[in-house]
Amino acid sequence: MNDKKIRFTVPNFVNEITFRDIENFDLKINSFFNRLFTSSYTNVDKYPFKKSSDNKKIQFNLNKENKLIYENLLPKNKIQNESEYFRDLIRTYISQPHYKRERRIFYSEYESIQKSIQRKEEILITHMDNDYIVEPYFFKVTSEEKNNFLFCWIYEKKEYGVFNLSRISKVTPIRFRKNKRYLDLDYIEKVHKKFDPFLSYGNIVKVKLTDLGKAWFKRISHYKPTLVKIEGDIYYCESSDRKAILYFSRFYNEAEILEPLSLRKKIKALLEDTLSQYK
């Protein structure tokens, strides 16, 4: 049995959102649509459609397993127009907030991890081509309702970690536990109540801001560290190193990291490396 070629047209805005997600999730178009079909083929709403010169054509191959499901679905759901069905499938998908779309595309990984959480199992995950045995605690969604993050204990590193769902490519439950269960209930509850994907808790960054830097700090909210106190031009923020680098890199010339010294050295090295490219 061969794969089935699927072709249909969609409004331009549907095309833009679809391919933005494909890029953000780092997937090929065939993988994206087969994942979507597997998780959502029975959950399809009806949408009106108007022909227009601005419409875009989408084409992908439905794999053999999904082709069989689709062929069995045809008489059961009285599907008469293939293009209409797949157009409604993607329209139903993009009507949801980003974090729900992420769960749809990575449905298998998400559900497998949720079951292991309920069973209190260790799992082996592949994240960005690296394998880790972890103790999964819960998923949390960022305040922007964009991404799903798994909070867990990483046994190899002996530290807590946060993994973006869309970067987890494989999940294997470990039925017979290899490690004694790691459970710091107070810390886990603190993270659950006030979630920060950068795990900044208790890490203080001391930064000196110019007047323009203060204005940028008020204006830029994405990845913004939690402000603890201000002493003149010195701002004390709760932030991990990674979060501070991502945030203050937008206006380094208006922000001088004073402490911790290890972070100051990291930023100095990053800036020196950047400058070396212009010599």
For the chain, give the DSSP string: ---EEEEEEE-HHHHHHHHHHHHHTT--HHHHHHHHHHHHTT----------TT-EEEEEEE-HHHHHHHHHHHHHHT---HHHHHHHHHHHHHTS-HHHHHHHHTHHHHHHHHHHHHHT-EEEEEETTEEEEEEEEEEEE-TTS--EEEEEEETTTTEEEEEEGGGEEEEEEESS--SPPP--HHHHHHHHHS--TT--TT-EEEEEE-HHHHHHHHH--TTPPEEEEEETTEEEEE--HHHHHHHHGGGGGGEEEEESHHHHHHHHHHHHHHHHTT-
Q: Is pTM beyond 0.95 here?
A: no
> What is the predicted pLDDT for the residue at 203?
95
> What is the predicted pLDDT for the residue at 197?
93
- Buried/exposed 55-68: b ≥16 CB within 10 Å, e otherwise: bbebebbbbeebbe
| Residues in the chain with pLDDT values less than 70 | 1
Per-domain residue ranges of the chain: 4-95, 107-193, 204-276
Q: Does domain 107-193 have CATH number 1.10.3470?
A: no
> What is the predicted pLDDT for the residue at 144?
74
Rounded distance, CA 129 to CA 100, Å?
24
- What number does CATH give the domain 204-276? 3.30.70
**pLDDT tens figures, 50-61:** 989 999 999 999
> What is the predicted pLDDT for the residue at 37?
98
